[in-house]
Amino acid sequence: MKGLTGESWVTTQFDALEDWSQRHSFWPFPFGTACCAIEFMSSVSSHYDMARFGSEVVRFSPRQSDLLIVAGTINDKMGPVLKKIYDQMADPKWVVSMGACACSGGFYRAYHVMQGIDEIIPVDVYVPGCPPTPEGLIYGILQLKEKVIRDRQAHRKRLKEEKARAGTEGVGTQGVGNQAAAVSA
């Protein structure tokens, strides 16, 4: 049983499989409000074929998706709706801000247009352009895959350090408890 605990061949191979599946199976939820949504539609067409990167399963329910692609202008009335959709998504979740309007408000410098969606939700990748090209969106998704790899490696390293720290703390207190039991006996 001792050989099965800790890092074994099975768990390390499972971690690699889990990492691979996490970064190759984004299920995007398109929140398209303007011309950027048309560019998103063309990026999932057969000409650009986002399916080869694992993002072909477009979901229109936030509970079934893990990638929110905000494409277009977001005004102040749509802000709470976008925030609610983001909150309904299961963790882990990522956000791509597509186009100049979603990234920075675009050429709308008015009181009713949000100057970037990062005012209400965290953004992982910004895809610039007015309108952004399908190649730009695909490049943004590839950059998001690299970010997922880095985040998962950092998370795994942090867990390993916490486990090692907890193991050394347990050894010190266990020894003290045994001495106290020996003294009272």
The CATH number of the domain holding residue 108 is 3.40.50.12280
Domain span at residue 57 reads 2-147
68 found inside a domain: yes
C-alpha neighbours within 13 Å on the C-beta side of residue 132: 31
176 found inside a domain: no
Averaged pLDDT of the chain? 78
**CA 113/CA 10 separation, integer angstroms:** 51
pLDDT tens figures, 96-139: 999 888 888 777 777 778 888 888 999 999 998 888 888 888 89
Query: Is the CB of residue 117 less than 8 Å from the CB of residue 81?
Result: no
Query: Is the CB of residue 151 less than 8 Å from the CB of residue 93?
Result: no
114 found inside a domain: yes
Q: What is the pTM of this model?
A: 0.74
137 found inside a domain: yes
89 found inside a domain: yes
Q: What pLDDT is stored for residue 86 in this prediction?
A: 92
Give me the number of domains the chain comprises: 1
Residue 16 confidence class, pLDDT cut points 50, 70, 90: confident
**CA 16/CA 144 separation, integer angstroms:** 18
**Dihedral sign computed on CA atoms, order 136, 141, 147, 149:** negative
Residue 171 confidence class, pLDDT cut points 50, 70, 90: low
